[in-house]
């Protein structure tokens, strides 16, 4: 019997507990060590077709330090039309253009009331967020994405 399911469950639980705390800790640390402040941006969050995502609330912050951008994202909304497995959020500053996944980010998602782990990655200037199990998101209200991370710029 494999211990992988137990590992995956514990890893997901750990991410769920630490994602919001790490976001706040990270933001506080940069506020302390830098005279610069966090900027905000308001991206158009979308979902892969055929699902539509109507944003009801969005808060996004970023901080540039040399050739690295740190960010934190919160968006909530309603999904409709048809199910899909991925949300897309454009980043505030263009990332290095590569045809491969760049930096990863930590994510937490709420899918119809259930808070679960998320997987976040950056590809060509877009933050992609999926459920930890890669399943489709449900349709309806209470679809929330929280993510934080960093990426390289030119």
Q: Which residue has the higher pLDDT, 3 or 24?
A: 24
Q: Exposed, middle or buried by CB within 10 Å (0-12, 13-18, 19+), for 114?
A: exposed
How far, in whole angstroms, is CA 88 from its chain's centroid?
9
- Which residues in the chain belong to E strands, given as ranges? 39-40, 46-47, 52-65, 68-80, 86-90, 104-111, 114-123, 126-131, 140-152
- Structural domains of the chain, with CATH: 4-152 (2.60.90.40)
Check if the beta carbon of residue 74 is closer than 8 Å to that of residue 40.
no
Record the pTM.
0.74
pLDDT digits (tens, 9 = 90+) for 104-124: 788 999 998 889 999 998 888
The predicted-structure confidence for 125-150, as pLDDT tens digits, reads as follows 889 999 999 999 999 999 999 999 98
pLDDT higher than threshold 90 for residue 46: yes
For residue 143, what are its two tokens? 């679809």
């Amino acid at each position: 019997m494999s211990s992988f399911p137990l590992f995956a469950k514990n890893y997901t639980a750990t991410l769920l507990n630490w994602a919001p705390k790490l976001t706040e800790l990270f933001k506080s640390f940069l506020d302390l060590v830098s005279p610069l402040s966090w900027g905000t941006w308001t991206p158009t969050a979308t979902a892969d077709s055929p699902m539509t995502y109507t944003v009801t609330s969005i808060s996004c912050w970023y901080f540039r330090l040399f050739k690295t951008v740190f960010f934190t994202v919160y968006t909530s909304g309603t999904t409709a039309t048809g199910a899909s497995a991925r949300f897309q959020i454009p980043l505030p500053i263009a990332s290095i253009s590569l045809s491969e996944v760049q930096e990863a980010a930590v994510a937490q998602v709420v899918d119809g009331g259930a808070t679960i782990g998320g997987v976040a990655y950056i590809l060509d200037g877009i933050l992609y967020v999926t459920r930890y199990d890669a399943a489709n998101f449900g349709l309806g209200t209470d679809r929330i994405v929280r993510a934080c991370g960093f990426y390289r710029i030119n």
